[in-house]
Amino acid sequence: MTDESETPDRKAGLVPQKHGWAIYQGAPAHPVAGPGRPLDELRRMLRGFAWEKFPDLMAKWDKLTEDQQAKVLEIALRYGLGTQTEAVAPEDIKAEANRMLAELCRILMDEEHWPTAKVQRVVERMVEAGQHPQEG
């Protein structure tokens, strides 16, 4: 008979409980879950599953309603091609705002013939508004 302290559960630090389960001795009160399965691996597995099921789906295509066909196409394109998220750096936003402000100044002075002092006041107010955006 094996000594209880030699069982894998004891070596792993598990303590048997009355209800039949075991808890890990010394576990933190609020453990943080790990990252789980890497997304690339999960996506690869889902693509494999979809690839296996695709011929069956195509064999039944004519039996699907128009709404079902549209949904299948939407899902196939979304996950087949992926979705694009455009990220814009704050520096790019600031550069575009400065370009637009410069163009506004050019229009006001050259085409509308505003006095320089008046254009300067507009620029100051625009810069101030950019530093303190209004909420809501």
Q: Where are the domains of the chain?
A: 39-81, 90-130
Across 11-25, 47-61, 91-105, 116-130, least confident range: 11-25
Residue 115 pLDDT exceeds 90 = yes
Handedness of CA 95, 96, 98, 102 (dihedral sign): positive
For 32, the token pair is 């943080």
Q: Which residue has the higher pLDDT, 119 or 51?
A: 119
Per-residue burial over 103-135, b if 16 or more Cβ lie within 10 Å, else e, is eebeebeeeeebeeeebeeeeeeeeeeeeeeee
What average pLDDT score do residues 51-72 get?
89
Least confident of 35-39, 41-45, 47-51, 52-56: 35-39
- Position 119 scores a pLDDT of 92
What percentage of the chain exceeds 90 in pLDDT?
21
pTM: 0.37
Phi, psi of 15 (to 5 degrees): -115, 120
CB 82 within 8 A of CB 47: no
Least confident of 25-34, 87-96, 119-128: 25-34
Q: What's the CA gap between 129 and 123, in Å, rounded?
A: 10
